[in-house]
Structure 1
């Protein structure tokens, strides 16, 4: 039995059947296996590809199966999904090998009856790969091509128009690169690149952030001595743009209201040369411990970890901070390229339900900013209700704040909104993201 595909099947069962996070379960499963590098790469490809294109794959399966897919055994269904993915999207994997391995695995797991069913469905697909699996409506064609549920595709089209919506969906399906941020407290950019090259990594300069190194090829970066020694931190380039936009200087008092997992928190400390005081707030104590561990690795000592619900006002922090960052909990629609299950686990109700929490955090955090200080708002979603609409709501109430425009260069996926905020369309190098800088004036 093919260990590689068994590992992939078990991860898919955990993510789709039990609600596990794909990145966490995949990493754990691979690390616990004895697979070689080539097989680990194939497992990763099968898992993320199957999750990414699940809508399209299920449309194909429904063409050949005369019952609700949900009534199938989870292993049988996910084996079919993974097999269709390999046949349709992977050109280097022989079709006969995909079918044979699927039949063999399911025969051992579910018996001969299930294996015959798998064999029949897959061979029918091989004979009719060019069949019309979708209806005539334009939205059906779009959803099949990009593998998005209709409500999410329609949301992007309504908010961004057809052209930008297609860019968002295409970018969300890209295979992401790994990017690392150089820790200027311990090394220089050039030295960090040289260390990685010496250790066998293929690297290049970042796409949009001047502090970013793009990892083109190399084994697990977090096991590398440059990471372990704190010379670099793994962080998406979109997130790297936030801290440098806050106009940070040495000895400031900075609040990071929703700090976990701490990438932006430590970036703030690095820019401030480990001076001043950075308070990292989070509602989850265990996540704060991870931030503390990461800060120790980076040689940072100016971070204070504070367990707190940032949606609840605490008067002792009134106008204490020079800078306040609110990277609010959000729907995460900008992270689909790294967490493709977001396509299937989020609903329109999820998007609506989170708005109150976001606005409570905005309302509370505004009180902590000193006069003439900066309130930084960011999300990893592309839903305008959580981005532009939240800001419009906030500015209507808080006349003492105004947006200060940001500029991050001419990369084609960076959108400069009329208000001065920035929306980042996902691509190979960057997550979908939203960033806005607000200045608090002395007047009311």
Structure 2
């Protein structure tokens, strides 16, 4: 038995219990474990894969488990996590042989429980190895089938079908459990995109130009975080959908820009880069700790035009005069249902009331900051979610309540080619689905203040 991989699976089990049962955030806890344990690169990658993969497919794996437990047998939560993380490896990790997974899971069960638990785990896993897993096509209800097959809660699948139809919903759910390529944004005052691409290719990475941003690079193969360009802060990691926000802001050198919901600072730094570190970007966040993330990012990228401070976005008229900004970006707090590939635990922790509550906060922020925009200025609204109540409905209500604003008529012409005929376009903006660009789900619109 490999002691190292056994330790990885034990750590994975502990993490899943903390995330799944105690409400911990997956990305934060995984980072913490990787920093605190002396794991080599291979074990670190395996740990990340097992934890994210098991969370990503949790409902599918739980459904699988019910077909092997015939009685109403009550099993401890940790035993259930151990079984489904073992199922995940058996189903989706081709390089790990079943016998090794079974052996190590039984050893963990022995140490954490007792011989009876170990025998139970052994029996379930050997049955799964012998009989295989259920065929989801046998599920008659299409909502339940998509829910189980792609591990999205039933209510969420049903909600998306009501909003977008079954085909878009099924594609979205399938994309949410697929691998997403990393993308990065060059710091153009330090390196050109072509220079960095050439440098990366010379060092064996496979990369391509983003079709969304002139600063964007998509990493096809290789670990860019181990490359010297990362240590030298020649780029920052950013999803292509997120890059599109600043690209659509019509920025010019010397502008005054407000970013009232700024943390962790990806868009604020992109805005500053596009203005060549001229003008001023006022970046705020509700939490001091998060403001520090914006400051760190600006400092790392050498951007002195960013002024970061703590404030509620709905209190900024106490800090700034009306009609003082050329551009305002409201990257609103949202349910995060567009980033489920990066943060899979989100989909199990949300409910419909969350969307309603968030839409009220989003509208409050818009109604407050709109007065800070100059006449003929532009307000960009974005979220990393795919819910109409937080997106189109918020903008529809805002426009009804604020007659001096309208959707910028040139906005749709400025979209990248691959989005110009998207099914996500409405009169209120563009809904980017994860399957559209193999990126995060995002909503973006641009409003102009006409009077």
In structure 2, which of residues 286, 291, 313 is the aligned counterpart of residue 288 of structure 1? 291
Scaled by the length of structure 1, the TM-score of the pair is: 0.93
Question: Are 2:412 and 1:409 equivalent residues in the alignment?
Answer: no
Deviation at 1:38?
A: 2.7
Question: Are 2:56 and 1:52 equivalent residues in the alignment?
Answer: yes
Change (3 A) 1:135 1:244: closer
CA distance in 1, matches of 2:192, 2:157: 43
Unmatched tracts of structure 1, length 5 or more: none
Cα deviation code 1:216-246 (max 9, x no counterpart): 333361x543123221000111000001211
In structure 2, which of residues 100, 103, 118 is the aligned counterpart of residue 100 of structure 1? 103
| Aligned residue number for residue 4 of structure 1 | 8
Question: Are 2:286 and 1:277 equivalent residues in the alignment?
Answer: no
In structure 2, which of residues 423, 429, 445 is the aligned counterpart of residue 421 of structure 1? 429
Question: Are 2:381 and 1:377 equivalent residues in the alignment?
Answer: yes
For residues 137-286 of structure 1, the aligned pairs below 5 Å read 137-219=141-223, 221=225, 224-286=227-289
CA distance in 2, matches of 1:303, 1:130: 53
8 A contact 1:311–1:357 mirrored in 2: no
CA distance in 2, matches of 1:116, 1:204: 50
In structure 1, which of residues 301, 309, 326 is the aligned counterpart of residue 304 of structure 2? 301
CA distance in 2, matches of 1:108, 1:357: 48
Change (3 A) 1:317 1:282: farther
Structure 2 residue matching 1:269: 3-state secondary structure: helix
In structure 1, which of residues 125, 128, 132 is the aligned counterpart of residue 131 of structure 2? 128
CA distance in 1, matches of 2:371, 2:70: 59
Change (3 A) 1:334 1:402: same
8 A contact 1:335–1:432 mirrored in 2: yes
CA distance in 1, matches of 2:130, 2:333: 46
| Aligned residue number for residue 403 of structure 2 | 399
Cα deviation code 1:315-370 (max 9, x no counterpart): 54311111000000000000001111112111112222212111110111111111
Question: Are 2:79 and 1:76 equivalent residues in the alignment?
Answer: yes
Change (3 A) 1:301 1:132: closer
8 A contact 1:374–1:437 mirrored in 2: yes
Structure 1 residue matching 2:217: 3-state secondary structure: strand
Scaled by the length of structure 2, the TM-score of the pair is: 0.92
| Aligned residue number for residue 447 of structure 2 | 438
Deviation at 1:129?
A: 2.1
RMSD between aligned residues? 2.1
| Aligned residue number for residue 25 of structure 2 | 21
8 A contact 1:326–1:376 mirrored in 2: yes
8 A contact 2:429–2:446 mirrored in 1: yes
8 A contact 1:312–1:361 mirrored in 2: no
CA distance in 2, matches of 1:67, 1:268: 58
Q: Choose 22-31 or 77-86, whichever is displaced more.
A: 22-31
Unmatched tracts of structure 2, length 5 or more: none
CA distance in 1, matches of 2:211, 2:42: 27
8 A contact 2:392–2:428 mirrored in 1: no
Q: Choose 97-106 or 27-36, whichever is displaced more.
A: 27-36
Change (3 A) 1:110 1:220: farther
| Aligned residue number for residue 88 of structure 1 | 91
Deviation at 1:66?
A: 5.5
8 A contact 2:248–2:415 mirrored in 1: no
Structure 1 residue matching 2:119: 3-state secondary structure: helix
Deviation at 1:403?
A: 0.7
Deviation at 1:106?
A: 1.6
CA distance in 1, matches of 2:207, 2:244: 20
Change (3 A) 1:266 1:58: same
Change (3 A) 1:287 1:224: farther
How many residues were matched structurally?
440
Runs of 4+ in 1 over 6 A off after TM superposition: none
Deviation at 1:416?
A: 4.8
CA distance in 1, matches of 2:243, 2:71: 47
